[in-house]
Amino acid sequence: MDVTELKQAAAEHAAQFVESGMVVGLGYGSTAIWAVRQIAERLQRGELRDIVGIPCALKTEIEARELGIPLGTLETNPVIDVTIDGADEVDPALDLIKGGGGALLREKIVAQASRREIIIVDPSKMVPRLGTKWALPIEVIPFGYGSQIRFLESLGAEVQIRQNGEGAPFQTDQHNLILDCRFGPIPDTHMLAEKIKYRTGIVEHGLFIGLATDVIIADANGIQHIQRRQGN
């Protein structure tokens, strides 16, 4: 199986946890979109009824509407039953780095509103320590972003401003910038998260600590489903 087939297999497995009447967080990215499509197919077949989707990104919203998934907002649906999303890295504690697609702010808002956060990945996303493979995305407001670069460098990061396909600075759905910060393997994610969030002008970071309840991994041998232990 190639990577696309693995992503699809993980997404199809996760979509089975969606039940009629649920409020469902719809993730963003090349893996999560397979779950969105699977949910739409289950609606079309009559297996699901009366669900409400809460999209994590404008692109997800557009595709979900085209697929016929009823959508709502967190203002009218403040509690989400289950969210299905992807991740850039997953460590043994089921903590994550997210934001490779630039939707980390909305993804974290949706995750924090979710009773169950199901993360779907292929085996390449599993790491012994966060930061092993991926830079940490950090969303900042455009004003004074240079000072944020210097601050993050003082914490040990190699910082790059994310660019779009035309070579201009990438803009999030909130019209902010993304700084991709390569720390290498992060020894203490909680401490780093606290230092970053304390800084004025930084909107959010891509460390998702204690939010994933389930991780579904698809490999050539099948599906592995890992659940967070209660209290962790």
| 199 pLDDT above the threshold of 90 | yes
Shared domain for 56 and 160, answered yes or no, is no
Question: Is the separation of the CB atoms in 217 and 224 below 8 Å?
Answer: yes
What per-residue confidence (pLDDT) applies to 232? 59
Shared domain for 99 and 140, answered yes or no, is no
141 within some domain: yes
CATH code (residue 20): 3.40.50.1360
Shared domain for 76 and 95, answered yes or no, is yes
- DSSP class per residue in 39-99: HHHHHHTTS--S-EEEESSHHHHHHHHHHT--B--TTT--SEEEEEE--SEE-TTS-EE--
What per-residue confidence (pLDDT) applies to 35? 96
41-74 pLDDT, tens digit per residue, is 999 999 999 999 999 999 999 999 999 999 999 9
230 — pLDDT class (breaks 50, 70, 90): low
229 within some domain: no
Residue 142's DSSP bridge partners are none
Q: Name the active-site residue from 89, 107, 139, 204.
A: 107
107 is catalytic: yes
79 within some domain: yes
Could you tell me the pTM of the whole model?
0.95
| 231 pLDDT above the threshold of 80 | no
Q: Taking all residues of the chain, what is their mean pLDDT, rounded to a whole number?
A: 96
CATH code (residue 176): 3.30.70.260
Domain count for the chain, please give it.
2
- Domain limits for position 184: 136-199
Instruction: With both helix axes pointing from N to C terminus, report the angle between 32-44 and 3-15 in degrees, rounded to the nearest 10.
Output: 50
Shared domain for 160 and 86, answered yes or no, is no
**Residue 103 burial (CB count, 10 A):** 27
Sorted by sequence, the CB contacts under 8 Å of residue 140 that are 6+ apart come out as 148, 176, 177, 178, 179, 201, 202, 203
